Every structure is written in C-alpha cells, then in structure tokens.
Amino acid sequence: MIFTIAMWKDKAREYIDKNSDHLIEISDEIHRNPEIAFKEVKASRLLSDELKKAGFEVELGAAGMDTAIVATHPEQSKGPTIAILGEYDALPEIGHACGHNLIATSALGACLALGSMKKELTGKLIFMGTPAEEDIGGKIAMVEAGLFNNIDAAMMFHPAPGYTMTGRQGLALTEVKIEFLGKASHASGSPEKGINALDAVIQTFNGINALRQHIKSAARIHGVITHGGTKPNIVPEYAAASFYVRAITDDYCKELVKKLENCARGASSATGATLKYSIIEPSYQSRVMNKPMGDAFAKNLEAIGEPIIPLPPGSGAGSSDIGNVSHVIPAIHPYISICDNSIAGHSIEFAEASASKRGHEVMLNAAKALAMTAIDLFTDSQMMDRVREEFRRNV
C-alpha cells in the first residue's frame, strides 16, 4: 500500500488519540512531581522508560548531564534527521508554572506516534530531553557537546496564556552578578567610618533606571538584590545583586551588558565600595525563526482545529535556550494557548492551567502538530530544502 502524506498524518493523529489517556497520565505525573533544574530525575526516567518500551535506543545522561536524554529510533534510512525536543524542569516553589510537563509529553507523544510508523518513513527520528531550561539552559550544553551537529531540524512547542503563534521572537539573555565590598561600622555611632556596599547596589539600580529611557523598546534589564546586609545598625560591608539583560539581537545584548557595567562602576566611584562584576555563562542567544517550518506547523495546527491567535501589539518576549539551537540548525518554538490572557506565565494560575482539561487538550494537539510537521519534513524534500535555505539566509 502506498501512503500519501495525508494518510501518514491521519495515522499519527489516530495513534495519539488512541493513547491520549496514557499521555495525560504521564503529563500529570510530571506535574505532580515538579523537579527543578538538573534534578529532573523522576521526569527523565519516566520519559526514558516510555521511549525504551517503544523500541528507542535511549541514552540518559547525555552531554554530561544526568537528566539529559537522547533517544534514537532504530529504524533509520536515507533522509533528514529530525529532533523533537522536550523540556521538563520546574520553577522553584511554584512548580510547573511554565508548563514544561506539557512540553515533555507532547514531544514524547509525537515521537511515539512517528516511531509506530517509522519502518515506512525515511530519515532518522530523535527525541531529545533537554534539562534546566529555566536555569543555565541544558540545550546550550548539548549544542556545545555537538549533539545537534548531524541534525537537520529541531522542533518543540510551548504553552502560552491567550495566544497561539509560530513566529514569536526570543530575546538574547545574559545574566550578570554584581558584588560590592565596603567597610562595616556602627550605623549610628560612627557611620563616617563605614563604606556602604548596599548604597552602591542601590545606586546601580538608580543608574539602570535612568538608562531605561535610552534603550530600545524590546530590550529588558531586570534584577534583584540577593544580599543587602545583616542588621540596620551595621553599615553593610557586602551587598550583591543579580540581573538579566535581554535584547532582540546578541550584539545589542552585549552592548547593554557593558552599559550595566558602567552603571555599577559609577556606583563604585560614588560610594567608595569595591566592585566585583561577573558575567554568568552561558548566555542565551536570540531566536532565529524558520518561516517555512513555522508555516507548516501552523497549517497542521489549524487542520486539527487550533486557531492561530496573534499576540496583542506591544507584547513583550522572553528568552530560551532554543535560541542557541536555532543558530546551529533550523528550529521552531511555536506557542499554543492553554488559558485566558489574564493569566501570566510563571504564576500559580499558569501552573494550574498546565494540568487542566484545556492543558491536556493542547498537549495532545501539540503532539499531533509536531508529528505532522515532522512527516512533512521526512516526506517532502522540497520543503526540507526551503527550511535549509531559510536557515542559511538568516544566520
């Protein structure tokens, strides 16, 4: 029997529908047991076990990370190598408030559906489990280890509040830590003998706030004071803060990092406190969008009844280590709405939505759209050529 692309896609959807209850159970199990960066032991083992049962050759502990997964389907032939990526780390205290349980299970569902028909599909299929997206970015370590070198395209989905789209940009991100060393003294009896390190941190924030008027609208600089002293009657001899610097391009992000440093050095000069300025590596790169692959995902999504809902004008953007992947191979990171736009990402309400009936529905639809888009790439060499050409033009 000769299968058409439409028949392959129907077969993938049927597989996911038939196994929907089991996929929902996996998603909810990850949701009930939130694990932060590099501690995703239960999630990574659960996913690995499912892939092993389906016949995938599974490496748990890829790129030197105990919870990273590279699972390859043994049926391979000439054709493109497609990776479907899953994230599964949670946020501290508020659990899966970014919906990574849905991301992981949609990728699993897509790979299991494709694996069930892989004998007839050309090419190579890989599930890649990427830990610590909310921390240092496990994908970056996997890029640096060369795990994407022989992959032709990568894809994943991300849940969103109130919008569904395939072409959203992602900001480059660099983390900066500033520390000031002053001199302790009695804050009332002999304040003139002290050097206030906390004042230097506050002056840095003031300098950044003055800078905001003069930076591009999509850029972001936001930070927290991580240490501000011990008691009010002691002049703080040590204070520290952590900042995220984000921008639409990698070069502009580097420029803003330098401006932040200038603010901190000015605060050091003004207060007399000694500055220690540190850039925390690795940095997240900006996202290179791939329109042909994104358009294919959107078409498949609409075919299963998920409408495209654009972001309102002026909406901000976040950052992800998928940006680093998109600089080495074609990649997409589409979004699908799981709740009303009144709910913010990284909130308790979003965590609740990630285990809701709507969240389950989106996870299953995302699995279908991922599988269908992979089928497009496996079976349509001209589309794969367009994806590669778009990538070469944009990086």
Residue 52 has pLDDT above 90, yes or no: yes
Q: Give residue 317's pLDDT band: very low, low, confident or very high (50, 70, 90).
A: confident
pLDDT, residue 163, reads: 93
DSSP per residue over 17-72, as a string? HHTHHHHHHHHHHHHHS---TT--HHHHHHHHHHHHHTT-EEEESGGG-TT-EEEE
Which segments of the chain belong to CATH 3.40.630.10?
5-169+287-394
Question: Which residues of 43-150 form beta strands (DSSP E)?
Answer: 57-60, 69-72, 81-86, 124-129
Cα 156 to Cα 128: distance, rounded to the nearest angstrom: 10
For the chain, percent of residues with pLDDT exceeding 70: 99
Q: Is the peptide bond before 310 cis (omega within 30 degrees of 0)?
A: no
CA distances from 32 to 24, 42, 86, 96, 310 (A): 12, 11, 17, 9, 31
Q: What is the mean pLDDT of the chain?
A: 96
Which segments of the chain belong to CATH 3.30.70.360?
172-284
| Strands of the sheet with 172-181, listed across from one edge | 220-227, 238-247, 172-181, 274-284
What's the CATH architecture for 172-284?
2-Layer Sandwich (3.30)
pLDDT, residue 315, reads: 75
Residue 118 has pLDDT above 90, yes or no: no
Instruction: Give residue-wise pLDDT tens across range 343-394.
Output: 999 999 999 999 999 999 999 999 999 999 999 999 999 999 999 999 999 9
Q: Which two tokens stand for residue 226?
A: 């991580």
pLDDT, residue 168, reads: 82
pLDDT, residue 217, reads: 87
Instruction: Give residue-wise pLDDT tens across range 57-88.
Output: 999 999 999 999 999 999 999 999 999 999 99
∠386-84-86 over CA atoms, to 5°? 140
Residue 316 has pLDDT above 90, yes or no: no
pLDDT, residue 2, reads: 64
Residue 117 has pLDDT above 80, yes or no: yes
**3-class SS at 153?**
strand
Q: Are 125 and 115 in contact (CB under 8 A)?
A: yes
| pTM for this prediction | 0.91
Instruction: Give residue-wise pLDDT tens across range 170-183.
Output: 999 999 999 999 99
Torsion of CA 39, 45, 46, 49, to 10 degrees: 170
Bridge partners of 279, per DSSP, are 176
According to CATH, the topology of domain 5-169+287-394 is Aminopeptidase (3.40.630)
Q: Are 310 and 215 in contact (CB under 8 A)?
A: no
pLDDT, residue 1, reads: 58
pLDDT, residue 313, reads: 73
